[in-house]
Amino acid sequence: MVIKMRLDKYLSECTGKTRSQVKALVKKGLVTVDGVPAKSPDMKIDETSSAVTMDGKTLSYEKYVYYMLNKPEGYVSATNDNLHKTVIDLLSGENTRDLFPVGRLDIDTVGLLLITNDGALSHDLLSPAKHVAKTYEAILDGIVTDEDITMFKTGVDIGEEKLCKPATLKVVDIDENKGHSRVYITITEGKFHQIKRMANAIGMDVLFLKRLSMGSLVLDPALSPGEYRRLTEDELNSLRSK
């Protein structure tokens, strides 16, 4: 049996307008369903097959949406914040109703962030039981040694009851003059400030941190900081298959 949706709910979810706003548009005769002016905002429609227009524009219903964002510095990973702009604010012109960031990047951390309204997928990606790998590029204010790499591999003590799960620390470049190391770090958990605390545990601070990947999802190099795009079907299917 097909469960039909109320027209006002459909209009609200497609456009981001409030129920009262879309009801007013229906009363003005600005909404049609299958070519016929809608008589009531509470009429039931099939969101998968009904042809709906509002003020002459054809609407398309999507239950879930998925955006890849290249998060810049200065934005918080939240849906709203009283002090700072949020990553949701970067999706200008989109219907951001019910959207949220999957996981959290600190205000000074940049890179890959998935934004969606799919709670089930978010849970799968963030669940500790799933061990989804996340890879970061970092610049550390010290010279990484083989002992540091081994410590990451065996489990870093960041002051909690249990050691961190085994992680990968790979040196990409060493700047001898500045005494800095550019590294890739891959973790399978999401403890609070985990990368920064792991770096502190080997006597270093993180000077720069950028997330490159989360599971099978890899940051698109074509996205400049602050830019976003929808996930492709291949990317989405790959995420769901994990």
pLDDT of 61 strictly over 50? yes
CA 30 to CA 39: how far, in whole Å?
Answer: 10
Q: What is the pLDDT of residues 143-170, one digit of tens each?
A: 999 999 999 999 999 999 999 999 999 9
Q: What is the mean pLDDT of the chain?
A: 94
pLDDT of 1 strictly over 50? no
Name the least confident of 52-66, 75-89, 178-192. Answer: 52-66
- What number is the average pLDDT over the span 3-10? 85
- What number is the average pLDDT over the span 77-90? 95
CA 125 to CA 93: how far, in whole Å?
Answer: 27
Residue 94's pLDDT is what? 87
Nearest 5 degrees, angle CA 168-CA 172-CA 175?
Answer: 125
pLDDT of 199 strictly over 80? yes
Residue 26's pLDDT is what? 92
- Tokens representing residue 83 in the block: 């002090």
Torsion on CA atoms 10, 240, 92, 223, rounded to nearest 10: -160
Name the least confident of 17-31, 97-111, 185-199, 203-217. Answer: 17-31
- What number is the average pLDDT over the span 132-145? 98
pLDDT of 242 strictly over 80? no
- What pLDDT band is residue 15 in, cutting at 50, 70 and 90? confident
pLDDT of 8 strictly over 60? yes
Question: Which residue type sits at 129?
Answer: A
CA 239 to CA 242: how far, in whole Å?
Answer: 6
Residue 216's pLDDT is what? 97
- What number is the average pLDDT over the span 59-77? 94
Helix (H) or strand (E) holding 238: helix 233-241
CA 180 to CA 142: how far, in whole Å?
Answer: 5
- What number is the average pLDDT over the span 177-202? 96
- What number is the average pLDDT over the span 75-88? 96
Name the catalytic one among 81, 89, 98, 106.
106
Asked if 118 is an active-site residue, the reply is: no
- What number is the average pLDDT over the span 216-221? 98
Name the least confident of 14-18, 28-32, 186-190, 191-195. Answer: 14-18
Q: What is the pLDDT of residues 22-54, one digit of tens each?
A: 999 999 999 999 999 998 999 999 888 889 999
